[in-house]
Amino acid sequence: MQLARPDDPDGYVIAPDPKAPRLTRAVEGVDQNGAPAAIRVVEERPLTIFLNGQEIVTAMTIGDYPEYLALGFLRNQGMLRADETVERVDFDEDLDTVVVRTDGQTTYEEKLKKKTRTSGCAVGTVFGDMMEGLEAVELPDLAVRASHLYALASTINRTPSLYLEAGAIHGTVLCQGDRPLVYMEDVGRHNAVDKIAGWMFSEGVSPGDKLLYTTGRLTSEMVIKTALMGIPALASRSGFTAWGVEIAREVGLTLIGRMRGKRFVCLSGAARLVRDADPESVPEEDARHRRKGAQA
């Protein structure tokens, strides 16, 4: 991934860079007819995250934006408190480690003993009670325009990405209105969300007027992360889990899934939908994106 150019017509602050050499490699094999075939496949590598002197977790990731991933993971786990100051974030490429240093002390031994393996690809981990902090969440009553959903899907679907280049990966995009801002990818959707959380934390970005778009399933983990980040709307081209829908309704999160072409389904927050676009005026999703999307 790379910072978008100032003249980027789609307005990304951070956009994918599918040609980055560290993110994929060429692998040779044979096709269904026995003929030689070479394709590019996504890299994955371990990244160990430390908070001050304490090792927290080792995540499997594609390796881009390790500092944002570490900060976002710690924020979403409740391990970076609002009253703490991050003094340094050090990434060692040779050791595949990130050390986040704060002005506080790290005492999460008990929390680290209780962990939940989530349903995310590449297997995410949540420490402590998954629902911790949700009772205090108060999401703003953000109107979500159908015209913005269609515009976002169109822009994101035609953005060059690892998702389209190689498959086997998830994308998550932070959006404002009809503009996609930050597009992160990783082998696990939880990592992509954490990178966005880390970027928002680093840049002091307000979540109240934002929407999160993901290519992955709308699971309980995705809903919880989005709500704890303070983002009031979550949309996906994929489907839902029952618990994800239940939590979204409890916390007042607008939840929209199965966004394919002119179609989408809203299972939470339908009263906040503004139907300002005629679905019949929206073209169907092109075959290339359907084919590539099925690989993720």
Q: Encode the chain (296 residues) as per-residue pLDDT tens digits.
A: 444 444 455 689 999 999 898 899 999 999 999 999 999 999 999 999 999 989 999 999 999 999 999 999 999 988 887 778 999 999 999 999 999 999 987 766 555 555 544 444 444 554 445 677 788 899 999 999 999 999 999 999 999 999 888 888 999 999 999 999 999 999 988 999 999 999 999 999 999 999 999 999 999 999 999 999 999 999 999 999 999 999 999 999 999 999 999 999 999 999 999 999 999 999 887 765 544 444 44
Provide the 8-state DSSP code for 218.
B
Query: What is the domain-level CATH number for residue 110?
Result: 3.10.20.10
Considering the domain boundaries, does residue 106 fall inside one? yes
| 215 lies in the same domain as 152 | yes
CB distance 70 to 191 below 8 Å: no
Q: State which of 132, 166, 194 marks the end of a domain.
A: 132
Which pLDDT belongs to residue 267?
98
Judgement on whether residues 121 and 174 belong to the same structural domain of the protein: no
Query: Which of 132, 153, 169 finishes a domain?
Result: 132
What is the CATH classification number for the domain harbouring 252? 3.40.140.10
> If we measure between CA atoms, which residue out of 68, 117, 115, 59 comes closest to residue 89?
68
Q: Does residue 12 form part of some domain?
A: no
Q: What is the SS3 assignment for 214? A: strand
Token couple for 135? 């009772």
Quick one: 62 and 122 in the same domain? Answer: yes
If asked whether residues 153 and 272 sit together in one domain, one would say: yes
Provide the domain limits for residue 205: 144-293
Residue 178, token pair as written in the block: 């009809």
Is residue 227 assigned to a domain?
A: yes
Q: How far apart are CA 38 and CA 27, in angstroms?
A: 6
Token pair, residue 176, equals 């404002």
Last residue of some domain: 103, 132, 161? 132
Look at the block and give the residue holding tokens 């498959």.
167
pTM score, two decimals? 0.87
How many structural domains are present in the chain?
2
